[in-house]
Chains A and B, each alone.
Chain A
Amino acid sequence: MAKAKEKSPEEMTYEQAFEELQQIVASLESGKMPLDEALKLFERGQTLSERCSALLEQAELRLRQLVPDEAGEYREEELDLEEE
C-alpha cells in the first residue's frame, strides 16, 4: 500500500492509476485489513479504474519533434502534420 495513495486520481497518469489499482486488488485479495480500510481501498479502486477507462477513451496522441537549434543542439517542439 503505497504512500502515493494521497494523490488524486484526476492528477494521475494511466500507468500510475493502473499500478495502484493493481496494488489495491492485491491488498483486497489478501483480505488482511479492517473493514473500513477495505471499504476505502475499494472505493479508491473504483475511482482509479474509472480514471483508467476515461484516459483510455479520451487519450489523444501527442505529437512532438526534435528541431535543431542555433547552438547545434536540439529542442522539442509541437509537431503539426495536418498541413501535409
Chain B
Amino acid sequence: MKGVQLALDLWLRRLDLGRRRRRRQPLVELLDDALTTGFFLAKRIERVGGVGHADETLQDVWVTGEISNLSRPASGHVYFTLKDAEASLRCVMWREIASRQILPREGQSVEVHGRISLYEAGGQYQLYADTLRPTGEGELFQSFLRLKEKLEAEGLFDPAKKRPLPAWPARIGIVTSPAAAALRDVLHVLRRRFPLGEIILASTAVQGEEAPAGIVAALKALNRHARPDVILLVRGGGSLEDLAAFNDEDVARAISASIAPVVSGVGHETDFTIADFAADLRAPTPSAAAEIATPDRLELARSVTQARQAQQRAFGLMLQERRNELRTARAGLQAASPRAVLANARQRVDDFGLRARRAVETGLALRRASVRGLAQTLRAVGPAAVLARGYAVVQLQSTGAVIRSVRQVTPGDPLKVSVHDGAFDAVAGERSAE
C-alpha cells in the first residue's frame, strides 16, 4: 500500500512538472511512467477505490502522439488512441467539444490537451481531450491565439457588429485567386442557385507573402469601385501555413472595415481562421459561402408560384364576394321593380274589393233590418189596424171622398161606411156641429 502511494506520487510529480513548464510531454515519456507505474497503478487504484479521479494534477495535461483507431459513432463523441513507438493511450473527445474542434485524421501527429482519469468500465486510464492540434503548429497556433485574443479585446469580433446578409445580393463580390478551385466551386453553386446575380471578382493571391496585402487591396477595391451587396472571401483547404494570409491582422481589419458584409469560406469544415471570426458570417467551405449568401432559385420559383396562387385565390374570393353582393342587390331590385309594384297594387285592389263587398253587404243587411222595422210600424199605424180597433171610414158614394167634416155632407147623401171587415151603405141624416 505504501509502495503504491509512493509510485503514484512520483508519477504525479513528473506530470505536474510538465504542466508547470507548459512543456508538451511526449506520450512515450508519459506512458513510460504509466506502463511502469500508472498502468499497474490503475489496476491497484481500482482496488483501492479510484484515488486518481479526485486528483487535480491530472486535470491539465498535454500529450503528443499519433492518432490511430479513430472512430466517431452516431453519438458524435470521438474516440481514438494516441500512439507512439512504444505506448498508447485511449482518448475520448465528447461531442460538444468535438463540434468546436479541428477533428483529427487517422495517422496525424497531434498534441492533445485534457485530463487523464480512470475509465472504470475498462479498468484503464483514458485521456478526456478538450483541445487537439497538429504537432509543430504549436507556434503558429500560439500566435493565432494571441492575435485572436487581441482583436477580440478590441471588439473586432463583436456579434453586435456583424452585418446581416442582404436578402437580395444582386451584386456579389468575390475575393480569391482566379486560378483557385474555390472560385470554380463558388461559381458552380451560384449558377445553380442564383443566376440572377452579378459577380464581380477581385483577384488576389491567397497564399504566400503577397497574399495578405492582396486580400486587403481586393476588399478595399470592391467596396470602393464595385459596391457589392455582399463579399465572399474564399479559399480552398490547406495547412495552417497555407491559410496564414487568413490569419493576418491587416486582413482581419480590412474585413471588419468592409462596407459590404463579408462571408468567409476558407479551407475545410474544420479550419477556423481569424478571417472567419472577423467576417460577418463564417461558412465552412467556399461552396457553403456561396450558398449562405444567396437565395435558392427553386425557392424563388416556389414563392412566385405561391404569389400567383395567392392572387388567384384573392381575386376569386373577390369575385365571389361581388357575386354575392350582386345576388343580394338583384333580390332588392326585384322587390322594388314595377312588376312587383303592380303585383302589390293588384293585391291591394283585391283587398279593397273584398273590404268594399263586405262593407256593402253589411249596409244592405242593416237596411233590410230597418225596412222590416218600418213595415211593422206602418202596419201598427195603418188604416186596417185603426179600423180593427172600431173606427170606420165614411166616403161619399157620389165622389168617393173621405168625409172628415160635417160640412162635406148634406142630409140624404148616400154614403159608404167601411169597417175593418167590410163596408155597408148608409144615408146622411141631420148635421150637428160640435
Asked if residues B314 and A31 are in contact (CB atoms below 8 Å), the reply is: yes
Interface residue tally on A, bucketed by range:
35 or more
Q: Is B322 an interface residue (CB 8 A)?
A: yes
Report the nearest A residue to B168, measured CB to CB.
A15
| Residue numbers in B under 8 Å from A35 (CB-CB) | 318-319, 322
Extra 6 A-B pairs, beta carbons < 8 Å, given A21-B311, A42-B311, A64-B198: A21-B308, A28-B315, A59-B195, A61-B199, A66-B222, A84-B178
Question: In the complex, what's the smallest C-beta–C-beta distance from B297 to chain A, in angstroms?
Answer: 6
What residues on B are CB-neighbors of A53 within 8 Å? Answer: 301, 304
Specify the chain A residue showing the minimal Cβ separation from B184.
A81
Q: Is the CB of A22 within 8 A of B199?
A: no
Are A63 and B202 within 8 A (Cβ)? no
Residue ranges of A at the interface with B (Cβ–Cβ < 8 Å): 13-15, 18, 21-22, 24-25, 28-29, 31, 35, 38-39, 42, 45-46, 49, 52-53, 55-56, 59-66, 68, 73-76, 79, 81, 84
Report whether A61 and B191 are in contact in the complex, using a CB–CB cutoff of 8 Å.
yes
Q: Which of B233-292 contact A (CB under 8 A)?
A: none
A25 x B314 contact (CB < 8 A): yes
A49 to chain B: closest residue by CB = B308
Interface string of B200-222 (1 = CB under 8 A from A): 11110000000000000010011
Complex formed: what's the CA distance from A13 to B197 in Å?
11
Ranked 7 nearest A-B pairs via Cβ:
A28-B314, A59-B195, A49-B308, A65-B201, A42-B315, A52-B304, A45-B311
A74 proximity list for chain B (CB < 8 A) = 202, 221, 224-226
Residues on B with beta carbons closer than 8 Å to the beta carbon of A62: 197-199
Residue of A nearest to B218 (CB): A66
B300 A28 Cβ-Cβ under 8 A: no
> Which residues on B sit within 8 Å (CB–CB) of A39?
315
Task: Confirm or deny: B196 has a beta carbon within 8 angstroms of a beta carbon on chain A.
Answer: yes
A15 and chain B: residue at smallest CB distance = B168
User: Which residues of the other chain, A, contact B170 by a CB distance below 8 angstroms?
Assistant: 13, 15
Name the contact of B201 in the complex, choosing from A21, A49, A59, A79 (C-beta under 8 A).
A79
Q: Which of B200, B319, B322 contacts A66 (CB 8 A)?
A: B200
Closest residue of A by beta carbon distance from B225:
A74
Cβ of B229 to closest chain A Cβ, rounded Å? 11
In the complex, the answer to whether A66 meets B311 with C-beta atoms within 8 Å is no
When C-beta atoms are compared, the residue in chain A nearest to B199 turns out to be A63
In the complex, A73 Cα to B202 Cα: how many Å? 13
Residues of B within 8 A of A60 (CB): 191, 195
Looking at the assembled complex, report how far the CB atom of B262 sits from the nearest CB atom of chain A, in whole angstroms: 16
B187 at the interface (CB under 8 A from A): yes
- List chain B residues, Cβ under 8 A from A24: 311
